[in-house]
Amino acid sequence: MPAPLAPPRRRAPARRRPPRLAVLARRLRPHSARQRQRRAVAREPRAPGLGQPAAGAPRRGARPRRGGAGRDAGPRRARPPLPGVAGAAGDARRPGRPGGRGLPPAPLAAGGRRAVRGDERRPVGDAVLSRPQDRPREPRRGPCPRPALRPRRVRPVGDRDAGGILRLRRLLAPGPAAAGRGRAGRRGRDRLAARSRGLGPRPRDARRPPRPRRRLRALRPRRGRRPHGGPQRRLAPGDGAARHGAGRHVRPSRPVRERSAAAARPLPPAGAGRGRGVVTVTVAVVGGGAWGTALANAAAAGQEGEVVLWMRDAAAARDAARARENARYLPGVPLHPRVRPSGEAGDLAGAGAVLLVVPAQTLRGVLGTLRPALRPDATLVICAKGIERGSDAFMTEVAAAVAPGAPLAVLSGPSFAADVARGLPTAVTLAAAEPARAAALAGILSGPALRVYHSGDLRGVEIGGAAKNVLAIACGAVVGRGLGESARAALVARSFAELMRFARACGARSETLMGLSGLGDLVLSASSAQSRNFAFGERLGRGADPGEAAGGKLAEGALTAAGLVALARRHGVEMPVAEAVAALVAGTLRLDDAIAALMRRPLRGEDE
Ligand SMILES: NC(=O)C1=CN([C@@H]2O[C@H](COP(=O)(O)OP(=O)(O)OC[C@H]3O[C@@H](n4cnc5c(N)ncnc54)[C@H](O)[C@@H]3O)[C@@H](O)[C@H]2O)C=CC1
Ligand SMILES: O=C(CO)COP(=O)(O)O
């Protein structure tokens, strides 16, 4: 018997691919029971022939709701997975969630590296696994419904604004920071308004309170600059102080404050042990030339009182007072408001310090004339640079002879009047026998651009100023003759050597000559045609007659050379450069012969 036939095995019916819409719907995560119900309805077949969309399906032409089922169910979003790709856009939205509808995590690729799905952030070096259109859109704002797609947390705008408002409220809150802020407070409110509109810059570091220094500045009333601690003053244009921030209150630097204290003190007794009284510090200037005018301006800027600028020509003084300018000697530089030009000797009577700024050869005569008008205890500050002809006397000796017992001081150093008048930085030395007097005077004359060092070596400071004028003529002659920069440098060095020898022989300190009045002034005058002495020598070098080489200007070196040489001989000091200049000026030696004589001198050790 044939074995009963087994009932034919029925092939399992092939699984029908679910309709596309159903697949898509399954992938979607319903957010609420209402949504799930809607989607269930949507899965039901449409009524045949009616062609009406199922309830809950998006209407044609309706704008898909952002982040909702309507958008996700749209045809653009619901793409089938790409072949060979472990998942596609939207698949990873619930990775590994037990019982979740999403796909399991992507399998590990060869080498243990996990394949990266197109919708994940890809580490550098991973293959590109998706087409650009399969990548999810970046969510714009608000909470993202798909955590795996969220690139990073976006702070809601409201949060940020709240922080900004809090910070700005703190800035504007009444209290020491805000009280009296005035414009600063208004600015803050404006910024707050701008910030709340999403405009305007963020505060630099809003967590930190504003810096206290700034706040203090804002609270400080604006005043005129007080470089020396005095009361507010009006400042002249061109004045050094005005140039350095007039109109703004700037706390003076420590040295300036110290100078103020020094200036406020009365000068110590003149000629200690000689019964002199204490002198006050009212400054007057004798000599209305370039240097006298520049120093008067500097003194006026450096202390409180009026500064009388005495001129021998009363008409010139009136003109200067009217025009507020010394048009002849220092054109273009306004006089400081507290400089009073005067031709009256009586106007010098109140001065405690009198700056003598006339040509060296006139000092004896001028001081002799004015002496009766001066206070007997007035400090005479010698600013002329020279040695008196005929007597071969230093300026301090001349002054001491004319005004015996008067306290003396000497001011010298590298300083073109035009530079000082323009407020360019300058440093000079002031020497007096008593250190306290020198310091007090230095304090009075110092300013933002004029730095006055003090010294006790009167002789050294005056020799530096007088001798450099003579030596600068030699340097000018070398340059005028076209002998080159090497020759000029050699001449400066050898000139300085003889200056030192001479100064030491006269009892001065070498250190003084190595400073401003000596090396400093020699370097300035030997290297610049702005120096009248250098210019005089330059013209000599070009063949000008010594009588005309000055060109109507004051060349103190030409008038001092003979006296310097005479003094050097008296002290047994060799000064070959000064000798040559004296002979050139006297017209007893030609320049070429002078140069040849210098070059033929016996060779010797440099320090001999
Ligand atoms: N101009 C400058 O850059 C500097 C000049 N000095 C020295 O200052 C002194 C004066 O020089 P500057 O003012 O430049 O000269 P300057 O030629 O500009 O003025 C000389 C002043 O002295 C007056 N004067 C001339 N003879 C007189 C007399 N017999 N009696 C009264 N007053 C007389 C003139 O009227 C003029 O006001 C000189 O010894 C010079 O070496 C010092 C440092 C810098
Ligand atoms: O003494 C001066 C600079 O320090 C002025 O130099 P002159 O007199 O050569 O112009």
ipTM of predicted complex: 0.99
Residue 13's pLDDT band (boundaries 50, 70, 90)?
low
- The pLDDT tens digits for 563-598 are 999 999 999 999 999 999 999 999 999 999 999 999
Is residue 284 a contact partner of residue 313, using CB atoms and an 8 Å limit? no
The ligand placed nearest to the CA atom of residue 538 is 2
Using the predicted structure, report yes or no on whether residue 421 has a pLDDT greater than 80. yes
The ligand placed nearest to the CA atom of residue 420 is 1
In the reported structure, the alpha carbon of residue 472 is separated from the centroid of ligand 2 by a whole-number distance in angstroms of 9
Q: 77 in the Ramachandran plot: left (φ > 0), alpha (ψ -120 to 50) or beta? A: alpha
- The pLDDT tens digits for 290-304 are 999 999 999 999 878
Least confident of 141-145, 166-170, 277-281, 305-309: 166-170
Q: Which among 541, 538, 530, 547 is positioned nearest to 585, based on CA atoms? A: 547
Pairing of β 408-412 and β 426-432: antiparallel
Higher pLDDT, residue 386 or 231: 386
Distance CA(558)–CA(584), nearest Å, equals 9
**CA dist list (Å): 57 to 45, 49, 60, 68:** 12, 17, 9, 12
Q: Read off φ and ψ for residue 173, nearest 5 degrees.
A: -60, 140
The ligand placed nearest to the CA atom of residue 560 is 1
Residue 234's pLDDT band (boundaries 50, 70, 90)?
very low
Q: Tell me which residue has tokens 């009365």.
A: 266
Q: Read off φ and ψ for residue 108, nearest 5 degrees.
A: -70, 135
- The pLDDT tens digits for 112-126 are 333 333 333 333 333
Helix axes 532-541, 556-570, angle to 10 degrees: 90
Domain locations along the chain: 157-219, 257-269+279-456, 460-600
In the reported structure, the alpha carbon of residue 536 is separated from the centroid of ligand 1 by a whole-number distance in angstroms of 16
Mean pLDDT of the chain: 70
Residue 390's pLDDT band (boundaries 50, 70, 90)?
very high
Binding residues: 291, 312, 329, 385, 413, 415, 417, 468, 521, 531-533, 554, 556
- Structure token pair of residue 57: 């399906």
Which atom of ligand 1 has the smallest separation from the CA of 384? Answer: 39
Distance CA(538)–CA(59), nearest Å, equals 103
Percent helix, strand, coil in the chain (nearest 5)? 45, 10, 50
Is residue 293 a contact partner of residue 333, using CB atoms and an 8 Å limit? yes
Residue 206's pLDDT band (boundaries 50, 70, 90)?
very low
Higher pLDDT, residue 398 or 17: 398
Instruction: Give me Rg for the CA atoms of the chain.
Output: 47
Please tell me the predicted confidence (pLDDT) of residue 137. 52
Q: Is the CB of 470 under 6 A from ligand 1?
A: no
CA dihedral 451, 453, 458, 460 (to 10 degrees): -90
Binding residues for NADPH: 291, 312, 329, 385, 417, 532, 554, 556
In the reported structure, the alpha carbon of residue 384 is separated from the centroid of ligand 2 by a whole-number distance in angstroms of 10
* CATH number belonging to domain 257-269+279-456: 3.40.50.720
Is residue 393 a contact partner of residue 420, using CB atoms and an 8 Å limit? no
In the reported structure, the alpha carbon of residue 350 is separated from the centroid of ligand 1 by a whole-number distance in angstroms of 23
Is residue 326 a contact partner of residue 293, using CB atoms and an 8 Å limit? yes
Is residue 341 a contact partner of residue 330, using CB atoms and an 8 Å limit? no
For 460-600, the fitting CATH number among 1.20.1050.10, 1.10.1040.10, 3.40.50.300, 3.40.50.1100 is 1.10.1040.10
Q: Is the CB of 528 under 6 A from ligand 1?
A: no
Distance CA(91)–CA(149), nearest Å, equals 11
Please tell me the predicted confidence (pLDDT) of residue 26. 59
Contacts of 549 (CB under 8 A, 6+ apart): 536, 537, 539, 540, 555, 558
Please tell me the predicted confidence (pLDDT) of residue 148. 42
- Structure token pair of residue 392: 């071969």
Please tell me the predicted confidence (pLDDT) of residue 304. 81
As annotated, the active-site residues are 468
Using the predicted structure, report yes or no on whether residue 264 has a pLDDT greater than 70. no
Please tell me the predicted confidence (pLDDT) of residue 371. 97
Residue minimizing CA distance to atom 30 of ligand 1: 366
Higher pLDDT, residue 108 or 434: 434
Residue 608's pLDDT band (boundaries 50, 70, 90)?
confident
Using the predicted structure, report yes or no on whether residue 77 has a pLDDT greater than 90. no
- Sheet of 408-412, strands arranged across: 339-342, 307-310, 283-286, 353-356, 379-382, 408-412, 426-432, 450-455
Mean pLDDT of 220-229: 36
Please tell me the predicted confidence (pLDDT) of residue 364. 98
Which atom of ligand 2 has the smallest separation from the CA of 412? Answer: 4
Using the predicted structure, report yes or no on whether residue 354 has a pLDDT greater than 70. yes
Query: DSSP label at 44?
Result: S
Higher pLDDT, residue 587 or 278: 587
Determine how many CB atoms are found less than 10 A away from the CB of residue 462. Answer: 30
Q: Read off φ and ψ for residue 315, nearest 5 degrees.
A: -65, -40
Residue 518's pLDDT band (boundaries 50, 70, 90)?
very high
Mean pLDDT of 317-339: 97
Is residue 512 a contact partner of residue 460, using CB atoms and an 8 Å limit? yes
CA dihedral 476, 478, 484, 486 (to 10 degrees): -90
Please tell me the predicted confidence (pLDDT) of residue 162. 36
Please tell me the predicted confidence (pLDDT) of residue 542. 96
Mean pLDDT of 181-208: 40
Determine how many CB atoms are found less than 10 A away from the CB of residue 394. Answer: 23
Please tell me the predicted confidence (pLDDT) of residue 10. 54
- Structure token pair of residue 188: 């803050």
Mean pLDDT of 313-331: 98
Alpha helices in 324-457 (DSSP H): 363-370, 395-402, 417-421, 435-445
- The pLDDT tens digits for 135-185 are 445 444 444 444 444 444 444 433 333 333 333 233 323 333 333 333 333
Using the predicted structure, report yes or no on whether residue 465 has a pLDDT greater than 60. yes
Mean pLDDT of 225-242: 33
3-state secondary structure of 61: coil
Residue 522's pLDDT band (boundaries 50, 70, 90)?
very high
**CA dist list (Å): 370 to 284, 367, 373, 577:** 12, 5, 5, 37
Is residue 480 a contact partner of residue 541, using CB atoms and an 8 Å limit? yes
Please tell me the predicted confidence (pLDDT) of residue 65. 42
